[in-house]
Amino acid sequence: MNITIVGTGYVGLGTAIMLAYLGYQVTGLDSDEGKISSLKAGALPIYEPGLDDLLQAASPNLRWTTQYSDAIPDADFIFVCVGTPPLPDGHPNLQYLEGAVRSIAQHLDGKPQIIVNKSTVPIGTGDWVLRILEEHAALYATSHYEVVSNPEFLREGTALGDSLYPDRIVLGGSSWATGQMRTLYAPLIEQSFEAPAHVPRPRGYERPAVVETTLTSAEMIKYSANAFLALKISYANEIAGLCECVGADIHEVAAGIGLDHRIGTRFLAAGAGWGGSCFGKDTSALITTGQDYGYSMPILRAAMTVNERQRSLVIEKLQKHVRLLKGKRVAVLGMAFKPDTDDLRDAPAHDFILRLGRLGATAVAYDPVAMPRARREWTHLHYVEAVSASAALAGADAVIVATEWSEFRSLNWEEVLATMRGRVVIDARNIIREPLAAPAVLEQIGREQPQSAFLPASGLAAVKVGA
């Protein structure tokens, strides 16, 4: 089977390399000539742990091109993995998808070919794609072209494990098309491939569930799953706020409720809220879809409101201790929206840096991976780059932990606090689990820390710990 992947972003690259590793001949297609040149040279345009090693292993089965004429005619399966960013009103922007599908249609060669939509798209997009094919494919009337919705459920930072060992594979389309997809995914379904040494098969993992359904239901599954996870995080953050009011610890509360198998422990971490390319966009898309049909979704709206509030809450905690931020130096640890990725889309750190600048403070930012991407994508922000976490904290009046990188968890806080001027720590990711062994103010989300025996060097009369 020959496979073409249209779009080489986070989803497209991971899909292309995974399928090539499974033994298929895969062509990666992208209009960005710089990106394709880098891939031809073996350089990845994104950061994902272990993806470079899998690329090297799969490279004999991979080729890269910018030409639809070079990638579409011979393909049996054409995966569409282009971006669908949100418009100001919350609807997804489908211009990139429409352009890709039109170009695909113009190069289909008349044999049975399956167009697989992995882009996150509004409900009903599969039928719309079929109409585009009908209008622009020269041999549509005498050929067998099918559209399948095959949403991805990858988490950046763990995308390889999620790809090779999925909990479910969702296939929406006709019975013939989903049957073809079952054949394509047989190595994953049967787990018959040799696991890469750097991405071992999880202990106890057997086979993924396969959900065969309609195009519409598959599209709804993707949106509904992401919106539910966003809702779960916002719920944890709302409970965290009440924990601060009554003196409870959100870690203990989340652990206690998560042990109920009906709820589960995942996505109950309180903090600065969710970011990235999926949760906000997909939740907004569901809300706007409801609006299109005159159907209100107040629970999802509340989830969005709580998430926005969390970002303001972090700055409010900072202002409680550093009254006037004008002229102050504030370190921001972490720029990516989550650890183990360089993805900056909807990252809380962006909002922190923006707000600090408006309040007259100087933001000094450090991220182990995402700083080169930030230089390209955050040119509208004003901040100072630091070469390390310790360099960011040196001379700072306060620090905001914006991303829970393991490097920050293992930071020698006693040592770096001694280099700070103000010693105010706003731990927006709750990574500090023990009392700070140095004079400092520590604020976290939904929990209090046992008080330190030290007094802050900044002149405060007592150590204020927690909310």
Establish whether 79 is an annotated binding residue. Answer: no
Hey, what are 126's tokens? 């599969």
Chain centre distance of CA 397: 31
Q: How many CA atoms lie within 13 A of 134 on its CB side?
A: 7
Establish whether 268 is an annotated binding residue. Answer: yes
Establish whether 270 is an annotated binding residue. Answer: yes
Establish whether 279 is an annotated binding residue. Answer: no
| Number of other CB atoms surrounding residue 167 within 10 Å | 9
Establish whether 155 is an annotated binding residue. Answer: yes
- Say how far apart CA 144 and CA 130 lie, in whole Å: 11
Establish whether 345 is an annotated binding residue. Answer: yes
| In contact, 195 and 57? CB cutoff 8 Å | no
Determine the residue type at 236.
A
Establish whether 22 is an annotated binding residue. Answer: no
What is the side-by-side order of every strand in the sheet holding 168-172?
62-65, 25-29, 2-6, 77-80, 113-117, 145-149, 168-172, 209-213
| Bridge partners for 385 per DSSP | 365
Determine the residue type at 16.
A
Establish whether 467 is an annotated binding residue. Answer: no
Non-local (6+) Cβ contacts of 319 within 8 A are: 325
- Say how far apart CA 230 and CA 232 lie, in whole Å: 5
Helix axes 298-321, 215-246, angle to 10 degrees: 40
DSSP string, 394-421: TT-SEEEE-S--HHHHT--HHHHHTT-S
- Say how far apart CA 358 and CA 380 lie, in whole Å: 13
Q: What share of the chain is helix, strand, coil (3-state, %, to 5)?
A: 40, 15, 45
| In contact, 134 and 36? CB cutoff 8 Å | no
- Say how far apart CA 145 and CA 115 lie, in whole Å: 7
Establish whether 338 is an annotated binding residue. Answer: yes
Establish whether 35 is an annotated binding residue. Answer: yes
- Say how far apart CA 244 and CA 237 lie, in whole Å: 11
SS3 call for 27: strand
- Say how far apart CA 295 and CA 288 lie, in whole Å: 9
Q: What are phi and psi of 117, to 5 degrees?
A: -90, 110
Helix (H) or strand (E) holding 306: helix 298-321
Question: Is 243 one of the annotated active-site residues of the chain?
Answer: no
Catalytic residue among 81, 243, 245, 278: 278
| Bridge partners for 277 per DSSP | none
Q: Which residues of 372-400 are buried (b: 16+ CB within 10 A; e: fewer)?
A: ebbeebbeebebeebeebebbbbebbbbb
Establish whether 154 is an annotated binding residue. Answer: yes
- Say how far apart CA 114 and CA 98 lie, in whole Å: 17
Establish whether 108 is an annotated binding residue. Answer: no
Q: What are phi and psi of 254, to 5 degrees?
A: -65, -40
Which residue ranges make up the annotated binding site for NAD(+)? 30, 35, 84, 120, 156, 281, 345
* Catalytic annotation, residues: 278
Which residue ranges make up the annotated binding site for substrate? 153-156, 222, 267-271, 275, 338
